[in-house]
Structure formats: structure tokens, C-alpha cells
Structure 1
Amino acid sequence: MSTAVPPQSQPKIGPNDVLRFFLELFAFVSLGIWGFTAFPLPWPGVLIGLGAPALAILAWALFLSPKAVLRIDPFGQALVEIAVFSSAAIAWWLMGQPVVAVVFAVVAAVSGILHGRKQLAD
């Protein structure tokens, strides 16, 4: 007996989906680094270093994850994604790393546009 999953129920994961996963992780780590380096330790550095990525993860889990708690339309999802990725790019800019900020922002924007076009086509 074969327990293979029918083809229509298998998730379609493409290269942009893998890139988006790494962009998410990079954004969360970036916000943590920013919180710990931009503010005096122990307080408020620890609070912001842990709180900023926690808020970004919460927003992502609530609105953007494949098993999102709250379903919103693609435009609302784009706004949440822009907020998370922009905050990470701004964090790099504020840490004095404009090249990292611009490269991340451009890659995230292109990936987001491709994802949005795919969502609207489905």
C-alpha cells in the first residue's frame, strides 16, 4: 500500500518561496541585532532586542504564515510584509550599514512583487 499524497494537495514550493523564508529569518534576526546594539544594555536594549523580533514574528504568524490565524486579503498581507521588511531595512540603515539595508530592501521588494503577482494570478 502506498501512502503517497495526491499531487493536488502537495504544496508548491518554488525558489522565491525559499528566498522569502530566508528573508523572513534575516528580518527577524536583523531586528534583534538592532535592538541589542542600538540601545543601552541591559535596559532598554534587552527589551527591544527581544521585543522587536517577537512583534515581527507575531505579525507574520497572525497574517502571513501558511497557517495564519487571521486571513486578510493580498493587499493587507502586502502591507504587513512591507512593514516587517521595511523595519529590518531601516534597522540596518540606523546601524550604519546602508549597503546591507539597500540590498535587503531591493531583494525583499522584488521577492514581494513576484509573490504578489503569483497570489493575484491564482
Structure 2
Amino acid sequence: MTNAPQSPVDWGEVPPPTEPAASRRPSRPVSAWTVLRVVVCAFGLLSLAYWGYLAWPFPFPGVLFMVGAPLFAAVVWFLFRSPRSPIDTDVVGKVIVEVALVIAGGAAWVSLGHPVVGLVFIVVAALSGVVAFRRETA
């Protein structure tokens, strides 16, 4: 692999090949906030799946909501909130999407009859969301 095509007149030494810029990623240390953020996101998706399992009759709508609710939430998060989202969204749009997804996960627990779990989830998700936004905009 060469960096650039060489003309027949340019008889200088060919530089060694380099890695493309897209394959090089700066390595960031994994912090406790990042781990908490991943746990909160996974718990939110599992909460929506659990809600779909318990709140709807099993054969037809139960499976649809058990798979569809977390899948819809993951796709919305990827499109509008993720660091590699294909749609460029400003800070306000990211906050709106994040709040809607957190409230959906908390509301799933409230509708199942566990309001304390829903409230704790919303508080922890809000805390990790605020820290994540502060780190992104710093």
C-alpha cells in the first residue's frame, strides 16, 4: 500500500505505508461513569423488554412488545443520541431523546406496579446523563 500514486518522473524514495485515519482511534480510559452509563442503558432496554413480557398477553402482542419496544428505543438512541449517529443533532435534540427514553424505562416499571424501581432508575439515569453531557461538551 502506498500513500499516493508516484509519477514516472518522481524517482525519490516511496514513503512507508501509513494507517488510514479512520482506523486510528484515540484510546480513552474507561471510567466508572462510562460503566454506569452502559449499565443504565442496558437496564433501560431490559426494563422495556420485561414490560413487554408482563404487560401484554404472551403469544401475539407480548412478543411484539417484548422485542419491539427495546428495539425501537435502541434505534432511536442510535439515530439521534449516540456518538456515531448518522443524523447530526444539536444538544437540545439529544437531551429530548435521552429524557424520552429514560422516562419510558421508568414508566415501564411504574406501570408494572414498582414505582420505587422506576424512580430510582430515573434518578440514576438522569445523574449519568448529566455527567455524560458535561463530559461531551467540555
TM bracket, shorter-chain basis: 0.7 to 0.9
SS of residue in 1 equivalent to 2:30: coil
Name the counterpart of 2:64: 47
The Cα offsets for residues 75-98 of structure 1, whole Å up to 9 and x where unpaired, read as 211111111111000000100111
Equivalent position amino acid for 2:43 in 1: F
**Distance 1:13-1:78 versus aligned 2 partners, 3 A rule:** farther
Name the counterpart of 1:16: 33
Question: Is residue 88 from structure 1 mapped to residue 138 from structure 2 by the alignment?
Answer: no
Greater CA deviation, 48-57 or 59-68? 59-68
More helix per residue:
1
In structure 2, C-alpha distance between the alignment counterparts of 1:18 and 1:75, rounded to whole Å: 24
The Cα offsets for residues 48-81 of structure 1, whole Å up to 9 and x where unpaired, read as 1111001001011112223212121122111111
TM-score (norm 2): 0.76
- For structure 2, which runs of at least 5 residues remain unmatched after alignment? 1-24
Higher alpha-carbon Rg: 2
Name the counterpart of 2:17: none
> How big is the shift at 1:12?
4.8
Residues 28-47 of structure 1: matches in 2 within 5 Å? 28-47=45-64
How much is the aligned-residue C-alpha RMSD, in angstroms? Answer: 1.5
**More RCO (CA 8 Å, sep 6+):** 1
Q: Matched residue pairs, number?
A: 114
Percent same amino acid at aligned positions?
39
Question: Is residue 76 from structure 1 mapped to residue 93 from structure 2 by the alignment?
Answer: yes
Equivalent position amino acid for 1:84 in 2: L
